[in-house]
């Protein structure tokens, strides 16, 4: 079964707007064993849209359309689909009353144009939209002698996603051959994609019935395993089999087995080990703190820290002695060490991380750090007894140096906690 | 002139990968007065791709293809285009030698498959790719009696973007009717899109020859004005005319007239006014510092600050008296005030910002902040003489409350500096 997704809307043909609905719909279709073979993006243009629908009906079994169900003259999806399939549109009285009620509830008269949202294709089933005024439509029909499923969905993601989940997936599952899906995600930080592929390909290639995808994310690599079988037990057994072998191969490089983020894993481990954490950040300027506090309940183990960006703030907020800054420069092993130890003492945390480095784009012009290269970063981790310091050379632009610095700090902490 | 962009690659038909090249290509085409009418995404499948190319040649004047130029069996764009246009492919000797040299330089033998990257369509002009091994190709041809421009581009954005800029834009400009483009971007924070539209639509609608786009970004609204005319002076005059009227209407809500970010504007104003800044962040956990330090040279005016996440870190790093925390709770006007004043004294900055709030998802379970709603945020700004505090109720999820808190803080500072 092949699907095509058509995203309707002229704004998606500008440099500013992307069709993102299709990623969500693709995930849902894949879960049901349906592959997406084509995606088309077309503007609010009657001739273009009608032709694009005909092309999709020719080459796909399932056609999903998103957008163009609103009340304005530009919203043409219903009309174009009726034209492409030579079907009548009729105005649904119950829907029309509902629209009038929506406006009446806000003490407004309904503009006549809005009545078009009550137009239904002959033979279509209405899919209730609890987050907007235009319902979806489901059409099980034939085109040039072949059976086709056509699904109309509203464009706004807040309307489309629940409507697809609640009104379409069950219906699709009932229509399609029965299948069960198992999925697992492994995540690894700070390792090149080519190395992950070289080490794991000999394993996952022995499992042709498990779809394996390697994704390079932001300073991490994800391995997605997906298997569709007539029974759930069978699908899970296959995914678990490849997962076991890959886990043995990659070992401690794997930070998460079920998709959790590195921040979540580290916060969980801190809690389990009864630790608290503070940070002192120079070149990352608060990014490490931002990442940790993005996770709800991080306050259980994360106390806070210093954005020790200037030399004076390193001294004022983390008690870095000025002679260290003068002798070694802010980007140095002794200053990283002093930042971690200082912020730990100040906050009373059990553990502390510090980051100091040269993020670029330019090297530092004068002073004790002047000769040091862009990308040089020191990370320190202390538990009050021992302090480890790592020296790194991170390639890339300012954003990459900063992001990878936070990732290295989290990985250093994870390995310590393991 | 209508264009279609075809993105080739099965990975873009998964839930994980998006075609982003087309946004870049669309911007470049729009600059030349060419509209994109269709975008198609198709996998590495000979039958599907050949058919998609034929459809594009039917409905568009310019067809751009990205991806599928690599050396593997899956890279089919050259072959499918040859089939769709009934053109021969010939192996280019100079290109082939270049490929052999690339491998020899790395002391490797070239796998035989790679020779396919030297295959050139009959009549095509080669577009040199300085960042990869597969060149682009430019074909000025006819399809069913109509003139068509077909452009083949490599898929990796690092190869496609410079190749399009350096080898295609000039060629396209020479082929297309002469046009000049003027563009301006206005940015506003913390204002609803509907309000911007209601206030500016009566103005920009009087300029039908200026294309106006309203974009809702992350806690900001952008207004893009674009005008294409036979002369640059004419295009700029029209864009400036609408810009003047809109600027008068929106006044101080506009933070930038040439696309600069709010962080950049604030850092620039701090420098001009000889100010330095420190921050104390509770619920945002370092995000405000991260945003400011993402900008190169922010160290000239930004000193750093405290990630004052826990109560004890508020006291230890920003000298917030414990009785204030006990009496009023951490999320309160007096604590916001004390955080700003405390971090200013500690760092010796001339100005300081503080943020404290309840980011959610859940309200705080016990203690003096227990009765306060999610989204309650206090922002304080001090210059040592006066301290202003703003109480806000921000709707939305944890990420939105945190992002909008940083945006409110930057806007408060911008208004102070103006």
Per-residue pLDDT tens digits of chain B, which is 418 residues long:
899 999 999 989 999 899 999 999 999 998 888 989 999 999 999 999 999 999 999 999 999 999 999 888 788 999 999 999 999 999 999 999 999 998 898 888 888 888 999 999 999 999 999 988 889 999 999 999 999 999 999 999 999 999 999 999 999 999 988 878 888 999 999 988 888 888 999 999 999 999 888 888 889 999 999 888 888 899 999 999 999 999 999 999 999 998 899 999 999 999 999 999 999 999 999 999 999 999 999 999 999 999 999 999 999 999 999 999 999 999 999 999 999 999 999 999 999 999 999 999 999 888 999 989 999 999 999 999 999 999 999 998 999 999 999 999 999 999 999 9
Q: How would residue A68 be classed by pLDDT, with cut points 50, 70 and 90?
A: very high
Task: Report the run of H or E that residue B157 belongs to, with start and end.
Answer: helix B157-163
Q: Does A365 touch chain B (CB under 8 A)?
A: no
Nearest CA in chain A to B215: A16
- Are A30 and A160 found together in one domain? yes
> Peptide bond preceding A361: is omega within 30 degrees of 0, i.e. cis?
yes
- Kindly state the average pLDDT of the residues A358-374: 91
> Which residues on neighbouring strands pair with residue B212, listed in sequence order?
B225
Q: Cis omega (within 30 of 0) on the bond before A215?
A: no
pLDDT beyond 90 at A57: yes
Do the Cβ atoms of B314 and B308 come closer than 8 Å?
yes
- A128's CB contacts (< 8 A; 6+ apart) are A135, A136, A163, A167
Q: Return the DSSP state at B132.
A: S
Same domain, A97 and A82: yes
pLDDT value at position B389?
A: 98
For residue B180, is it within any domain? no
pLDDT at A132: 87
B313 touches chain A (CB under 8 A): yes
Mutate which of B10, B15, B264, B363 to test chain A, going by most A C-beta atoms within 10 A?
B15
Q: Helix axis angle, B398-417 relative to B262-272, nearest 10°?
A: 30
A183 in any annotated domain: no
- Write out pLDDT tens, residues A285-298: 999 999 999 999 99
What's this model's pTM, rounded to 2 decimal places? 0.87
**Beta-strand relationship, B146-153 and B62-66:** parallel
Flag whether residue A102 sits within 8 Å of chain B, measured between CB atoms: no
Give the model's pLDDT for residue B334. Answer: 98
Same domain, B108 and B146: yes
B156 found inside a domain = yes
Half-sphere exposure of B302 (CA within 13 A, CB side): 34
Q: Do B15 and B100 share a domain, yes or no? A: yes
Torsion on CA atoms A12, A17, A21, A22, rounded to nearest 10 = 60
Give the pair of three-digit tokens for residue A398: 């300012």
Average pLDDT, integer, range A324-346 = 97
**Chain B touched by A103 (CB under 8 Å):** no
Q: How many CB atoms within 10 Å of residue B119?
A: 19
pLDDT of residue A214: 85
What are the pLDDT digits (tens) for A239-288? 999 999 999 999 999 999 988 999 999 999 999 999 999 999 999 999 99
From B233, B256, B279, give the residue that closes a domain.
B256
Domain annotation covers residue A182: no
In a domain, A154, yes or no: yes
Cα gap B354→A408, rounded to integer Å: 29
Residue in B closest to A59 by C-alpha: B48
Which residue from A minimizes the CA distance to B282?
A: A304
Tally of domains within chain A: 3
H/E stretch holding A84: helix A77-85
Residues B281, B212 within the same domain = no
- Cα separation, A135 vs A118, whole angstroms: 8
Number of H helices, E strands in chain B: 14, 17
Q: How many CB atoms lie within 10 A of CB A54?
A: 15
Let me know whether A276 and A250 are in one domain: no
Hey, are the CB atoms on A307 and B289 less than 8 Å from each other? yes
CB B122 within 8 A of CB B87: yes
Give the domain-ending residue among B210, B234, B256.
Answer: B256
CATH code: domain of residue B310? 3.90.950.20
With 0-12 / 13-18 / 19 or more C-beta atoms within 10 angstroms meaning exposed / middle / buried, residue B197 is middle
Last residue of a domain, one of B175, B209, B229: B175
Fill in the DSSP letter of residue B301: T
Say yes or no: A300 and A251 in one domain: no
Residue B183 located in a structural domain = no
The pLDDT value recorded for residue A338 is 98
Mean pLDDT over A159-181 rounds to 91
Mutation target among B222, B263, B290 for the A interface, most CBs of A within 10 A:
B290
Of A47-51, A220-224, A278-282, B294-298, the one with minimum mean pLDDT is: A220-224
Pair (A168, A207) in one structural domain: no
pLDDT for residue A313 is more than 90:
yes
The pLDDT assigned to B300 comes to 95
Name the residue in chain A with its Cα closest to that of B13: A36
Identify whether residues A235 and A297 lie together within a single domain: no
Neighbours of B395 (CB within 10 A): 9
Confidence band of A216 (pLDDT split at 50, 70, 90): confident
Provide the pairing of β-strand A119-121 with A387-393.
Answer: unpaired
CA nearest neighbour of B188 among B249, B252, B264, B253: B253
ipTM surpasses cut 0.90: no
Task: Tell whether A285 is within 8 A of chain B (Cβ).
Answer: yes
Mutation site for B-interface testing, chosen from A59, A309, A345 by largest number of B Cβ within 10 Å: A309
Rounded CA-CA distance A360/A377 in Å is 11
Q: Based on the fold, state whether residues B250 and B267 are members of the same structural domain.
A: no
Helix or strand holding residue B211 (H, E): strand B210-216
Contact between A228 and A293 (Cβ < 8 Å): no
Q: Is A153 left (phi over 0), alpha (psi -120 to 50) or beta?
A: beta
Residue A111 sits in the same domain as residue A252? no
In a domain, A184, yes or no: no
Which class for A353: exposed (0-12), middle (13-18), buried (19 or more C-beta within 10 A)? buried
The CATH number covering residue A48 comes to: 3.40.980.10
Cα-based distances in Å from A359 to A263, A406, B140 = 22, 12, 46
The minimum CA-CA distance between B19 and chain A, rounded to whole Å, is 9
3-state helix, strand, coil in chain B (%, to 5): 45, 25, 30
In a domain, B38, yes or no: yes
List the beta bridge partners of residue B304: B278
A78 in Cβ contact with A42 (< 8 Å): no
Say yes or no: A248 and A290 in one domain: no
B294 contacts A399? CB cut-off 8 A: yes
Residue A292 is nearest to which of B45, B285, B292, comparing CB atoms? B285
| Cα(A68)–Cα(A159) distance, integer angstroms | 13
Residue-number span of the structural domain to which A208 is assigned: 190-256
B343–chain A nearest CA distance, Å: 9
- Alpha helices (H) along B186-332: 193-204, 232-250, 262-272, 287-293, 311-318, 322-328
Residues β-bridged to residue A187: A222, A256
Q: How far is CA B213 from CA A217, B26, B121, in A?
A: 31, 15, 39
């Amino acid at each position: 079964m092949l699907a095509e997704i058509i995203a309707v809307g002229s704004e998606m043909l500008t440099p500013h707007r992307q069709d993102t609905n299709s990623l969500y719909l693709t995930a849902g279709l894949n879960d049901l064993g349906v592959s997406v073979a084509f995606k088309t993006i077309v503007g609010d243009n009657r001739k273009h849209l009608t032709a694009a629908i005909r092309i999709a009906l020719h080459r796909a079994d399932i056609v999903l359309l998103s957008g163009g169900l609103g009340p304005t003259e530009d919203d043409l999806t219903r009309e174009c689909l009726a034209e492409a399939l030579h079907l009548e549109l009729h105005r649904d009285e119950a829907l029309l009353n509902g629209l009038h009620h929506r406006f009446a509830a806000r003490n407004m008269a309904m503009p006549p144009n809005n009545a078009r949202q009550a137009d239904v294709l002959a033979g279509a089933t209405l899919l209730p939209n609890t987050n907007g005024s235009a319902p979806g439509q489901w059409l099980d029909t034939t085109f040039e002698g072949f059976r086709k499923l056509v699904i109309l969905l509203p464009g706004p993601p807040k309307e489309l996603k629940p409507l697809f989940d609640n009104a379409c997936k069950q219906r699709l599952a009932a229509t399609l051959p029965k299948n069960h899906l198992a999925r697992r995600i492994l995540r690894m930080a700070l390792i090149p994609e080519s190395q992950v592929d070289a080490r794991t390909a000999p394993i996952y290639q022995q499992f042709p019935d498990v779809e394996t995808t390697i994704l390079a994310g932001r300073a991490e690599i994800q391995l997605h395993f997906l298997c569709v079988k007539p029974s759930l037990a069978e699908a899970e057994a296959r995914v678990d089999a490849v997962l076991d072998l890959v886990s043995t191969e990659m070992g401690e490089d794997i930070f998460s087995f079920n998709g959790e983020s590195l921040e979540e894993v580290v916060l969980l481990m801190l809690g389990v080990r009864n630790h608290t954490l503070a940070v002192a950040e120079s070149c990352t300027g608060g990014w490490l703190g931002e990442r940790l506090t993005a996770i709800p309940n991080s306050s259980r183990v994360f106390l806070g820290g210093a954005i020790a960006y200037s030399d004076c703030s390193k001294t004022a907020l983390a008690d870095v002695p000025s002679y260290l800054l003068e002798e070694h420069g802010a980007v140095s092993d002794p200053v990283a060490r002093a930042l971690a130890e200082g912020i730990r003492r100040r906050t009373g945390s059990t553990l502390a991380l510090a980051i100091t480095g040269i993020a670029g784009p330019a090297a530092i012009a004068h002073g004790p750090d002047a000769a040091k290269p862009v990308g040089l970063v020191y990370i320190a981790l202390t538990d009050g007894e021992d302090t480890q310091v790592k020296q790194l050379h991170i390639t890339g632009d300012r954003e990459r140096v900063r992001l990878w610095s936070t990732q290295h700090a989290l990985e250093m902490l994870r390995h310590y906690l393991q």
